[in-house]
């Protein structure tokens, strides 16, 4: 069924004046970010580089969440979310940018990882796993896999706009299955490599799941925000309605709760067993200023989104769900902050200017890259056979 014309492009449908205002804002943010980057690379110490790692991992996470959402949609055969799919597709173009940031840290400032700089007497498997060339090669391999597979998914989906070929969907189901398997393996290993090995003596088997849960909740929050933005600008007026918002809200609520569950599982088991080599990780994070941040982290990532999104009408209210999405994104930044910065036991809990500048840059890059990616195709997958179901979707 064709409810939209095949040339349903961003430029033709958006309120360009309003869009330009936003885009110039993003451009200013990007300049701030670039200036911070240059200044930090020349002058900054550990705090700058951990900030760069933070925003880069955040951006990579959004790209990965985009890929995962597309894959899950194809694999489950869900119809309701088809109209929304172009947003996660556009989000996958964050991956090269975030990946670049991570590689900059790994190449230019390896001393962020204690095992790379000072003498660490690891033996056996650990010495093999945590060695610099292999570590860098793995990082490149993860990024190649992620960028390659998400490109493939996006290309097939856009192809269908032009040809209307039903096989595009079938192909993407197969690509999604392969991507999901590789995604699980690589996201888990990348979280161990990039974040857990910041404290190389500490280990936790659930760490990858925790990383995944935060990645998904921040990804969904981003989908909500970009979706509302597109609706405000025009192209998505009549595309997403309260029903879609309610479902996105449910998913956001679910993943925030999932994050809380995984967070609590890790915390409780380490608290309960109280083995010195594990407990050090949390003792540092629950005392003093770090402890306050840990509580704020739980509020932002779980308590606020959970209780606000619980009533049905709040999920359907674009202002409320938009505000919750912002809270969740700030929460994700804080969660990564708590994973990365206290690895250096001397670091103070107060965020510094580097992080602020880099976060502004992050917003700028995300907005600009998103807009550019959205321009490359119709704003909805116009010839996906399930689009009709999605547009006429009722709870």
Partner 1 sequence: MSRRIFMGIFEREEDILGAARAVRERGWTIVDIHAPYAVHGLDKVAGFAPSRLPWICFALGVLGAGLKMWFEYWTTAVSWPINVSGKPWDSLPAFIPVTFEVMVLLAGVGTVIAFLLSAGLRPGKRAVLPHPRVTDDRFALLIEEADAVFSPVEAAALCAKFHAVATEEYEA
Partner 2 sequence: MSTDAQHQNLRPPWILGNKSLSDVSRDICGIFERKPTALWWIAFLVAASMLAVGSAAMIYQMATGIGTWGLNKTVGWAFDITNFVFWIGIGHAGTLISAILFLLRQKWRTSVNRAAEAMTLFAVMCAGLFPLIHMGRPWLFYWIFPYPNNRGPLWVNFRSPLVWDFFAISTYFIISAGFWYMGLLPDLATIRDRATSKLRRWLAGFFSLGWDGSYRTWVRYESLYMLLAGLATPLVVSVHTIVSWDFATSVIPGWHTTIFPPYFVCGAVFSGFAMVLTLMLIARKVVHLEDYFTHRHVGAMCKIIILTGSLVGLAYLTEFFIAAYSGNPYEQFVFINRAFGPYSWAYWIMVSCNVITPQLLWFKRIRGNLMIVFLLSLVINVGMWFERFVIIVSSLHRDYLPSSWAMYTPSLIEVLTFIGTFGLFFSAFLLFCRFLPMIAMAEVKGVLREGHHAPAPAPAAPVRAAQEVEA
Nearest to 341 by CA among 21, 70, 44, 52: 52
Letters for 164-183 (x = contact with partner 2 by CB under 8 A, - = none) are: -------------x---x--
Question: Does the footprint of partner 2 cover residue 394 (CB under 8 A)?
Answer: yes
Letters for 243-272 (x = contact with partner 2 by CB under 8 A, - = none) are: -------x------x---xx--xx-xxx-x
Distance CA 78, CA 199 (A): 40
Q: Collapse the DSSP code of 6 into the 3-class scheme (helix H, G, I; strand E, B; otherwise coil) and give the result.
A: coil
Q: Pick from 141, 264, 287, 356: which binds partner 1 (CB under 8 A)?
A: 264
Q: 193 and 135 in contact (C-beta within 8 Å)?
A: yes
CA distances from 238 to 231, 241, 303, 319, 371 (A): 8, 7, 32, 17, 20
Q: Pick from 22, 188, 267, 306: which binds partner 1 (CB under 8 A)?
A: 267
Letters for 207-226 (x = contact with partner 2 by CB under 8 A, - = none) are: xxx-----------------
- Residue 271 CB, shortest distance to partner 1, in Å, is 5
Q: 167 and 197 in contact (C-beta within 8 Å)?
A: no
Q: 82 and 3 in contact (C-beta within 8 Å)?
A: no
Closer to partner 2 by CB, 17 or 124: give it.
124
Q: Of these partners, partner 1, partner 2, none, which one is at the site of residue 144 (CB under 5 to 8 Å by kind)?
A: none
Q: Pick from 11, 42, 123, 272: which binds partner 1 (CB under 8 A)?
A: 272
Residue tagged 């200017």 (tokens): 353
**Number of residues in contact with partner 1, rule: CB under 8 A?**
10
Q: Pick from 96, 122, 152, 330: which binds partner 2 (CB under 8 A)?
A: 122
- Residue 101 CB, shortest distance to partner 2, in Å, is 25
Residue tagged 């998103």 (tokens): 370
Angle of CA points 258, 61, 122, to nearest 5°: 90
Question: Does the footprint of partner 2 cover residue 205 (CB under 8 A)?
Answer: yes
Letters for 71-90 (x = contact with partner 2 by CB under 8 A, - = none) are: ----xx--x-----------
Closer to partner 2 by CB, 151 or 284: give it.
284
Scanning 18-26, 91-99, 111-119, 123-131 for contacts with partner 2 by CB under 8 A, the matching segment is 123-131
Binding residues among 267-296 for partner 2 as defined by CB under 8 A: 268-270, 272-273, 275, 277
What sign does the dihedral 103-108-112-114 (CA atoms) show?
positive
DSSP string, 130-170: S-HHHHHHHHHHHHHHHHHHHHHHHHHHHHHHHH--THHHH
- Give me 162's structure tokens: 């032009």
Closer to partner 1 by CB, 345 or 394: give it.
394
Q: Of these partners, partner 2, partner 1, none, which one is at the site of residue 72 (CB under 5 to 8 Å by kind)?
A: none
- Residue 311 CB, shortest distance to partner 1, in Å, is 8
Question: Does the footprint of partner 2 cover residue 125 (CB under 8 A)?
Answer: yes
Q: Of these partners, partner 1, partner 2, none, which one is at the site of residue 280 (CB under 5 to 8 Å by kind)?
A: none
Scanning 49-57, 143-151, 269-277, 381-389 for contacts with partner 1 by CB under 8 A, the matching segment is 269-277
Question: Does the footprint of partner 1 cover residue 310 (CB under 8 A)?
Answer: yes
Q: 306 and 263 in contact (C-beta within 8 Å)?
A: no
Q: 83 and 240 in contact (C-beta within 8 Å)?
A: yes
Closer to partner 1 by CB, 22 or 267: give it.
267
- Helix (H) or strand (E) segment spanning residue 194: helix 167-194
Question: Does the footprint of partner 2 cover residue 204 (CB under 8 A)?
Answer: yes
Closer to partner 1 by CB, 134 or 264: give it.
264
**Number of residues in contact with partner 2, rule: CB under 8 A?**
44
DSSP string, 92-144: GGGHHHHHHHHHHHHHH-GGGSHHHHS-----HHHHHHS-HHHHHHHHHHHHH
DSSP string, 284-321: HHHSHHHHHHHHHHHIIIIIHHHHHHSSHHHHH-HHHH
Neighbours of 62 (CB within 10 A): 27
Give the chain's length.
395
- Residues of this chain that interact with partner 1 (CB under 8 A) are 264, 267-268, 271-272, 274, 310-312, 394
- Residues of this chain that interact with partner 2 (CB under 8 A) are 1, 75-76, 79, 122-126, 129, 177, 181, 184-185, 188, 192, 203-209, 250, 257, 261-262, 265-266, 268-270, 272-273, 275, 277, 385-386, 388-389, 391-394
């Amino acid at each position: 069924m064709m409810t939209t014309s095949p040339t349903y492009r961003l430029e033709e449908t958006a309120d360009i004046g309003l869009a330009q205002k936003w885009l110039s804002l993003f451009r200013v943010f990007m300049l701030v970010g670039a200036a911070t980057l240059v200044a930090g690379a020349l002058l900054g110490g550990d705090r700058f580089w951990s900030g760069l790692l933070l925003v880069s991992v955040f951006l990579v996470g959004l790209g990965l969440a985009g890929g995962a959402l597309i894959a899950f949609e194809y694999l489950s055969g869900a119809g309701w979310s088809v109209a929304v799919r172009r947003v996660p597709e556009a989000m996958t173009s964050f991956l090269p940018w975030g990946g670049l940031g991570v590689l900059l840290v790994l190449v230019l400032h390896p001393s962020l990882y204690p095992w790379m700089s000072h003498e660490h007497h690891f033996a056996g498997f650990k010495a093999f796993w945590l060695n610099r060339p292999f570590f860098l090669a793995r990082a490149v391999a993860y990024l190649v896999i992620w960028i390659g597979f998400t490109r493939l998914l996006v290309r097939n989906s856009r192809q269908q706009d032009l040809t209307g070929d039903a096989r595009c969907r079938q192909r993407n189901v197969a690509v999604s299955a392969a991507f999901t398997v590789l995604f699980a393996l690589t996201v888990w290993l990348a979280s161990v490599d990039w974040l857990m090995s910041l404290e190389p003596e500490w280990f936790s088997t659930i760490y990858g799941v925790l990383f995944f849960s935060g990645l998904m909740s921040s990804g969904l929050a981003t989908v909500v925000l970009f979706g509302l933005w597109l609706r405000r600008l025009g192209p998505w007026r009549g595309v997403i309605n309260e029903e879609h918002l309610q479902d996105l809200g449910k998913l956001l609520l679910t993943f925030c709760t999932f994050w809380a569950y995984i967070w609590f599982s890790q915390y409780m088991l380490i608290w309960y067993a109280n083995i010195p080599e594990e407990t050090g990780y949390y003792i540092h994070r629950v005392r003093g200023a770090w402890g306050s941040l840990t509580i704020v982290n739980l509020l932002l990532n779980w308590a606020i989104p959970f209780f606000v999104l619980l009533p049905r009408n709040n999920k359907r209210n674009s202002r409320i769900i938009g505000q919750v999405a912002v809270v969740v994104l700030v929460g994700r930044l804080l969660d990564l902050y708590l994973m990365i910065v206290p690895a250096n036991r001397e670091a103070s809990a107060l965020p510094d200017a580097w992080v602020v500048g880099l976060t502004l840059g992050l917003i700028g890059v995300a907005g600009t890259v998103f807009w550019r990616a959205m321009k490359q195709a119709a704003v909805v997958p116009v010839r996906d056979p399930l689009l009709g179901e999605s547009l006429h979707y009722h709870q």
